[in-house]
Amino acid sequence: MALVAQVAQLEQAQPRYKAIKFFCEQIKHGGISSDLMRLVEIANNKKGKNRTLCDRTLNQWVLDYEKADTPEERLKALAPMQRVAKKAEEIVWLPDFLAIYRQTNGINVAEAYHYFSAEWDARFADEPLRLEMKPSIDQVRAALAKFFYFLALPLNVANKDIQKHKGRFCLVNLLPLNQSLESFDAQANHQRYFYNLFESFFV
């Protein structure tokens, strides 16, 4: 929290991205107090001599701090911990990408990423750090790999292609289906139902 507070103090005299960049440069060149440097080492939770902070990491800490509503949530958000892979529902930009990818004209991932990237650049044109946080196409593909296989398919995929893969997962374990929805074949014509249901997890 002390590092975030330091950014907030610097931010009073300059835009956030400049405050973060300045602070990271100070860390890199040893221009901060030993107490703050110790906090950097603890917060980074890394071994080795190179324990500086990058702009992107510090900016994410600030965003996580602002997102938290209570002191307990802030402590949890900023507590040093081992990095773990995010679940699909924790990837905040995934709904924005899916809104483009899940079009009825069946565009592929590369085409969808092109539009997604352009929208990201326009939305965060005045926020350099957010621009740097734009996911790469490889990160997008990795996120889709975590997604339900049939939900990552374009809407115009034939039902027989969906049914071909139905043995790769168990719907009962993935969605709270009742008895009337147990038939995969009955739901093959309603991909959008499943997409809307999963999309509700992000709200």
pLDDT tens column, 163-183? 554 444 433 333 433 333 344
pLDDT value of residue 50? 53
CA distances from 108 to 26, 102, 113 (A): 44, 9, 9
- Mean pLDDT computed over 62-90: 67
Q: Tell me: pLDDT of 152 over 60.
A: no
Degrees to nearest 5, angle at CA 116 with 124 and 4: 35
pLDDT value of residue 60? 81
CA distances from 126 to 6, 8, 110, 117, 132 (A): 22, 18, 25, 15, 12
Rounded-to-integer distance, Cα 114 and Cα 146, Å: 21
Per-chain mean pLDDT for the chain: 69
Amino acid symbol at 123: R
Q: Are 22 and 11 in contact (CB under 8 A)?
A: no
Phi, psi of 154 (to 5 degrees): -60, 150
Question: Bigger pLDDT: 87 or 119?
Answer: 119
Q: Are 102 and 154 in contact (CB under 8 A)?
A: yes
pLDDT value of residue 85? 55
H/E element, 118 = helix 109-123
pLDDT value of residue 92? 80
pLDDT value of residue 45? 60
pLDDT digits (tens, 9 = 90+) for 78-103: 665 545 555 555 678 888 888 888 77
pLDDT value of residue 34? 83
Rounded-to-integer distance, Cα 68 and Cα 70, Å: 6
- Placement of tokens 């049939």 in the chain: 150
Rounded-to-integer distance, Cα 58 and Cα 19, Å: 11
Question: Bigger pLDDT: 170 or 115?
Answer: 115
Asked which of 8-17, 103-112, 167-176 is least confident by mean pLDDT, the reply is 167-176
Helix axes 34-44, 2-11, angle to 10 degrees: 120
Q: Tell me: pLDDT of 33 over 50.
A: yes
pLDDT value of residue 3? 83
Q: Write the DSSP string, 25-48.
A: HHHHTT-S-HHHHHHHHHHHT--S
Question: According to the per-residue pLDDT averaged within each range, which of 86-95, 103-112, 122-131 is highest?
Answer: 122-131
Rounded-to-integer distance, Cα 155 and Cα 63, Å: 34
CA 139 to chain centre: 9
pLDDT value of residue 188? 41
Q: Are 89 and 47 in contact (CB under 8 A)?
A: no
